[in-house]
Chains A and B, each alone.
Chain A
């Protein structure tokens, strides 16, 4: 025997088969379908269809409603990512300093993680309900003419608030474990080298958390793009006037409510390209600045 070499056997393929099957059935096949459909114009009952080349794309990108949804998605994702990361980091740093009752703090902060986005949306719905919502009443009581059913800023505020609240717990868990991964001795060395806690945080703790932050940023942007669907569907439903439509929600509305399968397929293909581009940008340009 010269060296250990495994014979080509079917076993490795069997091991990855379930994963391949899942990807094929739930990603490649529907994605292929979407691309195919995006070139078709179909009647509302699905009885006839016509190949229209790129007309669906032209109609989609040129549509003011789509551009509005794209703009809202950008602002929404940026806000949700920035706020949920910022708040979670602050909470994690503070929770990390707590010595007495630390586990109670942590458990309490992690609870929201167990709540599904639609449920979070329903809870938000109750809190902002014009008749029984406490937050609705509170905002109006302090002089803010708050009405998310009519005002698009207020509606955006509601979905951002719920989406952030829901996501903070996930980020918190990762930040906390990231903080606990920083060597105690390094913190102590910093304690002897730098008096100001703020400066210590920005020069030592934050750079050492960069891998965690980068990872969470990718996760959070994906979350803001896709998983907030449930929140938007149960709270504003894109209202008022489509001002809280995210790209994903618009795909759903146009395809399933508007029965424009070709148009919504074209939108989802564009969305796929956007996400792909975003991911490449994140890994190309931001990850370089991350010290592992």
Chain B
């Protein structure tokens, strides 16, 4: 259990590339923090800086109010779960889990107890004497988790731990990780590019873009109230509907489409109207009209896709509806949204205006 603090940390590589450009955050005791962002945004670099696998160019990182910039990775009391598991291929599962403890000089009996306990918790106690190459991907993942758990570290670090698993296992492990973290109450930082993982796991979510935090907060807050176009489009599945527009004569204009009800928007810049698929519903008095071209049936929900009519360019819209709503392909459908669910962004800066 520990607090972690990043104070304006920066990472500049020798070739001048800036991977992390001044990130600050305070992580509470026992909090589950997720860094989410597209690949190359610097989220993994930040995690590796906390782990001690990357040097910190500027700023400092504190664990329990102690600056750890120059502390070796083994002395930081953090444990990491790697994307490709990084198990020691020449050791058994038991050997893998015990290795870190042995090097810290624990007694054999104590190591055994801890390993057995963790193995039981992760349901890998039957494989303790196997080599990693005799295990399936999911089992290896558990061993990697076990190796981190036995250490009883102050902080857990997860570097896209589920991305090598198949879809079903990923969901299952996601739930287990969350349960485990709740039970152990260890401060955790989790890096992923998968927004579903991010939304479901995080106590607080940091959306990272280009080495900066775009927005940080509870997942649902980021979903409902994104501050930038980037956050709005990154968070949420299915993807938010984005309609390029301009503000003319007190109306939001997109080609022949004119939407009233918007106030106080600048007239001289390009705007983007964003509406989540969940907030569009078929209604004969709807503001938007689409020509349906695809219906995806997910079981409980259907996702209906179609081209926005009367717009100046090809804009695809999507809305979420119930199992029984099955519009015909090529039929025209009017969609309604509540004014309070409409978000307007400045297209060039990405800043949220409404």
Contacts and interface: CB of A to CB of B under 8 A. Distances in A.
Q: Do these two chains really belong together in a complex?
A: yes
Interface string A230-248: 0000000000000000000
A192 B80 contact: yes
Given A188-B53, A189-B80, A194 B103 contact: yes
B74 A194 contact: yes
B88 A186 contact: yes
Interface in A6-36: none
Contact of A189 (B52, B78, B88): B88
A189 B103 contact: no
Main secondary structure on chain A at its contact with chain B?
helix
Contacts of A199: 103
A192 B88 contact: no
A208 interface: yes
A203 B99 contact: yes
B73 interface: yes
Nearest to B84: A185
Contacts of B285: none
A192 B86 CA distance: 12
A207 B90 contact: yes
B299 interface: no
Contact of B79 (A183, A192, A194, A291): A192
B16 interface: no
A191 B53 contact: yes
A188 B90 contact: no
Interface string A174-203: 000000000101101111111110010001
A204 interface: yes
B75 interface: yes
B72 A194 contact: no
Among B52, B73, B78, B85, chain A packs the most CB atoms within 10 A around the CB of B73
Contact of B103 (A188, A195, A291): A195
B74 A185 contact: no
A292 to B, nearest CB: 9
Nearest to A206: B90
Contacts of A208: 89-90
Interface in B83-103: 83-90, 99-100, 103
Contact of B73 (A183, A191, A203): A191
B51 interface: yes
Nearest to A193: B100
B89 A189 contact: no
A190 B53 CA distance: 11
A206 to B, nearest CB: 10
A213 B38 CA distance: 42
Given A185-B83, A188-B86, A195 B100 contact: no
A196 B103 CA distance: 9
A66 B310 CA distance: 100
B337 interface: no
Contacts of B73: 188, 191-192
Interface string A33-57: 0000000000000000000000000
B90 A183 contact: no
A60 to B, nearest CB: 44
B72 to A, nearest CB: 6
Interface string B105-148: 00000000000000000000000000000000000000000010
Contacts of A203: 99
A272 to B, nearest CB: 35
Interface string A107-147: 00000000000000000000000000000000000000000
Given A195-B72, A195-B74, 7 more contacts: A189-B87, A191-B74, A192-B73, A192-B76, A193-B103, A199-B103, A204-B88
The 8 closest A-B pairs by CB, nearest first: A185-B86, A193-B100, A195-B74, A189-B86, A194-B103, A291-B90, A207-B90, A192-B73
Interface of B: 51-53, 72-76, 78-80, 82-90, 99-100, 103, 147
